[in-house]
Amino acid sequence: MPIQKGDFILVHYTGRVKETSETFDTTIEETAKKERLYKEGETYEPKLVVVGEGWMLKTLDESLTSLEVGKTTSIEIPPEKAFGHRDPEKVRLVPLRRLTARGITPQLGMHLEVDGKHATVRTMGAGRVQLDFNPPLAGKTLVYEVTIQKKLETKEEKIAALIHRRLPAADIKKFNLETSEAEAVVNVPEEAFYVEGLQLAKRGIATDIQKFFPEITTVKFVEVFKRREAGGAQP
């Protein structure tokens, strides 16, 4: 069946700038390493997308309904449907001392925050720094290579994917999930007890489950702490 709005799918993608062939984003570890985008601790795997929820660039999200599972498709997105055209008025010169006074040592290409706005350092010289407040990809045509790896069908695998989205560092296979008509019980494995931001993630998971499965009115998280034997390893 074709992909429809509301479907849960797992997507691999790589985004490049058409004009330069520069890769700026990918879900594929091998590509990330090859293009020097790899970040230690980052999870490289197919990304969960609920079609139409805006979890991807809008034009890319809208294109998903025309794709087939398992088939790689190239999608070209012009600037006006991506990050907009460059606005010359968003490029400003600021005194270098204004930045250094804040503990910032600017370098070419550096991304920083000034007055609550994100900027890129474009040029430096004569005690002044040129800051570009346009989005880094503004004015560029983007080309995405997209492959829908899988369409999730059952409630259990959809909920498991929602959990993994919030807790990517934990092994989702070790979570035991029990669902009934109005309740979901998530048994959290011990290895996830100490994941940073666990409590916030649980709140997000509960919100996600109740949003996509409104019949579920209660979400429970079960964490069982077992007494360790004397001399056993301590967490």
Just give the CATH number of 154-235. Answer: 3.30.70.2210
**How does strand 218-222 pair with strand 183-187?**
parallel
CA 1 to chain centre: 27
What is the distance between the alpha carbons of residues 176 and 186, in angstroms, rounded to a whole number?
A: 6
> What confidence category does residue 230 fall into, taking pLDDT thresholds of 50, 70 and 90?
low
Positive or negative torsion for Cα 62, 67, 71, 74 = negative
Phi, psi of 11 (to 5 degrees): -125, 130
DSSP H or E stretch at residue 165: helix 155-166
For the CA atoms of 35, 37, 39, 45, what is the dihedral angle to 10 degrees?
A: -80
Closest CA to 206 of 169, 145, 162: 162
- What confidence score (pLDDT) does residue 203 get? 97
Q: Report in angstroms the alpha-carbon separations of 179 from 175, 216, 218.
A: 13, 9, 10
Domain boundaries along the sequence of the chain: 1-84+139-152, 88-132, 154-235
> What confidence category does residue 8 fall into, taking pLDDT thresholds of 50, 70 and 90?
very high
> What confidence category does residue 126 fall into, taking pLDDT thresholds of 50, 70 and 90?
confident
3-state DSSP call for residue 100? helix
- Residue 33 corresponds to which tokens in the numbers above? 């390493």
Phi-psi region of 208 (alpha: psi -120 to 50; beta: other; left: phi over 0): alpha
Fold annotation for 88-132: Thrombin, subunit H (2.40.10)
- What confidence score (pLDDT) does residue 75 get? 97
Domain pair 1-84+139-152 / 88-132, same fold: no
Range 107-127 average pLDDT: 93
Count other C-beta atoms under 10 Å from residue 129's C-beta: 27
Tell which CATH classification among 3.30.420.40, 3.10.50.40, 3.40.50.720, 3.30.70.120 matches the domain 1-84+139-152: 3.10.50.40
Residues 142-198 pLDDT 10s: 999 999 999 999 999 999 999 999 999 889 999 999 999 899 999 999 989 988 899
- Residue 91 corresponds to which tokens in the numbers above? 């490029």
- What confidence score (pLDDT) does residue 227 get? 79
- What confidence score (pLDDT) does residue 229 get? 72
Positive or negative torsion for Cα 153, 159, 164, 165 = positive
3-state DSSP call for residue 22? coil
